[in-house]
Amino acid sequence: MTPISWLPTASSSMLGLFSLAGVPHTVQFYAAGMVGCLSMSAMISLFENRHNVIQNNRFRISKQPIRFLIVGINYLFAVVYPIPFLFGLPDQDSAKLSILQTIACPSEEFFQLPVFTISINPEFKTYAAISMFICTVFMMFQLKFYASTCIYYLVLSKSKNSSKVTIDRQRKFFYGILIQISIPYLFMLPAIGYTCYSIFRNYYNQDLNNFFILFANFYGTVATFALLFSHTPYRDFFRKVICWEKTKPIGKISTSGNRPSAFIK
């Protein structure tokens, strides 16, 4: 699913396997919006998990039903959020003609491919901006809360209930999560910035549209490499696979009789 975006209008031409398979454009749009929101929910879950495994965290949610409820609300929100954008879709043929009032000279693909338009209402920008702002506040509040408690208890505070080794490991893993999350989302900032600029300044440049769509499509690749290289076990395994290194056997453990276990070389 790799769309050609017709920014600054709320329209695109869907390409890729889904289009070849005949998947309706509404389903593709919903899937794209849901996946984007689910990635945010998954990011929050990472910090929520770190937040709740810190034993001396006074804000730790100890009751599992409450944790499941909070996590469930986040993922339910991600599933429901794109649905209102699909209400009141305009007639697609009429909308395509209306787009020409904003984009006077689109590229030839505009006339060759079907164009899916979410809205041609001038007030749609305001509605979209408000809904995205609410979504961002809802997600970022949780993210900052969980991240702040992790930073305080793992970096600033000195725990008396956990060993230094445990704290060091938790701190190292938390730093890995920060790197894992920060790199792909910083990678996405140029595309998000250009999208906002194009919509609210009514700016059209098809070359930039195509470039930033391709740029954003590498998000998954960047996120995967960020995961591999920000955590030592994944990084070591990846290096061994690339270099064809064989894993050395640790040895066998003797458990015969009542003798204590020992490694046998």
- How many of the other CB atoms lie within 10 Å of CB of 53? 12
Contact between 4 and 13 (Cβ < 8 Å):
yes
Residue 183: which CATH number? Answer: 1.20.1070.10
Return the CA Rg of the chain. Answer: 24
Tell me the pTM. 0.74
Contacts of residue 220, Cβ cutoff 8 Å, sequence gap at least 6: none
Domain range for 208 is 4-264
Per residue of the chain (265 residues), what is the pLDDT tens digit?
Answer: 567 888 888 888 888 788 888 888 888 889 888 888 888 888 888 888 888 888 788 888 888 898 899 889 989 988 888 888 888 788 888 888 888 888 888 888 888 888 888 888 877 877 887 887 888 888 889 888 988 888 888 887 776 666 777 777 878 888 888 888 888 778 788 888 888 888 888 888 988 988 888 888 787 788 888 888 877 788 888 788 888 766 565 544 444 444 444 434 4
Q: How many domains does the chain have?
A: 1
Write phi, then psi, for 227 (nearest 5 degrees): -65, -45
Q: Which of 143, 149, 140 is nearest to 170 (CA)?
A: 149
CA triplet 240, 242, 245: central angle to 5 degrees? 35
